[in-house]
Structure 1
């Protein structure tokens, strides 16, 4: 089954700004366009950073930062304080932008991009080819992967579904693939064998239901005997 990639999901027409753009102009751009971030591009189209709503709010909040007292100033890192001052008082995009930007290639899958977003707790990634910005994939774009057209029915053979369920189980450390057997008939997945506990039972049901083409899930397993617990 073909997976959607960044090329399929990305928004290619990305609003961007040069590094010299005034901060107030960036704030106005985000407000008028109803967007939460804008990439900052160099002369060759390379991504230098991104100005987000958080960067703008940080700058606004920094105007009320209190000056450290004499004693506290003895322990201040001058370089860090200078950097913070630039972020909270800068007047150009390059002064306040977040320079650490996560990028992906056009061929990266929706699943991979979703994993990166979840792992880094970010809301968007930039799609880059040969160092140049090609598009942006946001969380909203990823939702399209969930409602993408399903493959033809012929791709959902029982053999393929069974292989997909087993492969998914082997990726989960909690799934007892050694003691739990999988059978698929007419798209319905049936678990046989032994099941460790109710948590694993629920997890396997969710795992199987998430595989495209599965029409139903049955559980015909038995509780795990005590003498087998030592081996799991």
Structure 2
């Protein structure tokens, strides 16, 4: 069961600028390529910041330094690596309250960009495809469970699990694996279990 990574979703073609790129050139690039921000890179193509539409809309001052990328950018650049899981990328975006992540290679060079619109691709999967992956990959192949013992319903990415598993300890495992499936928005747990193997037996505890 393979889940998509940052490398799978990122846009490999990136419009970037240098520290000295002037205000008007940045504005032209945003309009020409229909994008809302550009990474600012150094001489080695390593991101040092990002200039967004919001940055450009700030009123320029008489200081000429604010009319170049170096003076306009938000710095440092919050970056991602191509092998990251999508979940990790989303967490970083939320933590730093950014809408996009420049993606860098092992040497820190810019190789792509991941935006929130790229991430939305995950949630455009059909419910049937999500249900099929949970039944075949998660329950049958990964966990070795009988699909007939469980019911998987998917509505607009919301997964509802019902039925009975053999042990209580399997429930959090099933939930975690289902939540990691591409396109799943949330999981509703209605699972029951035959054996409670998560309760501590005080008679044998020391």
Q: TM-score with structure 1 length normalisation? A: 0.58
Distance, in Å, in 2 between the alignment partners of 1:93 and 1:123 is: 18
Of 80, 89, 102 in structure 2, the residue corresponding to residue 126 of structure 1 is 102
- Please list the CA deviations of residues 25-73 of structure 1 after superposition, one character each: whole Å capped at 9, or x if unmatched: 1112112222110111122111121111121112x2x55xxxxxxxxxx
Residue of structure 2 equivalent to 1:16: 16
Q: Separation in 2 of the partners of 1:17 and 1:218?
A: 48
Tell me the equivalent position of 1:100: 76
Choose between structure 1 and 2: higher helix proportion. Answer: 1
The answer to whether structure 1 residue 185 and structure 2 residue 162 are counterparts is: no
Task: Summarize deviations over 1:155-186 as a string: whole Å, max 9, x none.
Answer: 142685699xxxxxxxxxxxxxxxxxxx9824
- The answer to whether the 8 Å contact 2:150/2:162 transfers is no
Distance 1:218 1:25 in 2: 53
Q: CA RMSD in A?
A: 3.7
CA distance in 2, matches of 1:20, 1:152: 51
- Are 2:134 and 2:178, in contact at CA under 8 Å, matched by a contact in 1? no
Q: Radius of gyration: which is bigger?
A: 1
Cα distance between partner residues in 2 of 1:212 and 1:113:
15
Contact 2:151 2:162 in 1 (8 A): no
Instruction: Point out the structure with the larger strand share.
Output: 2
Count of aligned pairs between the two proteins: 164
- Tell whether 2:139 aligns with 1:157: yes
Aligned equivalents of 2:90, 2:51: Cα separation in 1: 21
Local SS of the residue matching 2:17: coil
What is the correspondence of 1:2-151 to structure 2 with a 5 Å cutoff? Answer: 2-58=2-58, 60=59, 63=61, 90-129=66-105, 130-147=107-124, 150=130, 151=133
Alpha-carbon displacement from aligned partner over 1:143-164 (angstroms, at most 9, x marks no partner): 122335654853142685699x
Is contact 1:13-1:135 (8 Å) kept?
A: yes
Alpha carbons of structure 1 residues 19 and 191: separation in structure 2 relative to 1, 3 Å: same
Q: Distance in 2 between matches of 1:98 and 1:211?
A: 32
TM-score normalised by structure 2 residue count: 0.65
Q: Which runs of 4+ in 1 moved over 2 A?
A: 145-154, 156-163, 186-192, 206-214, 216-221
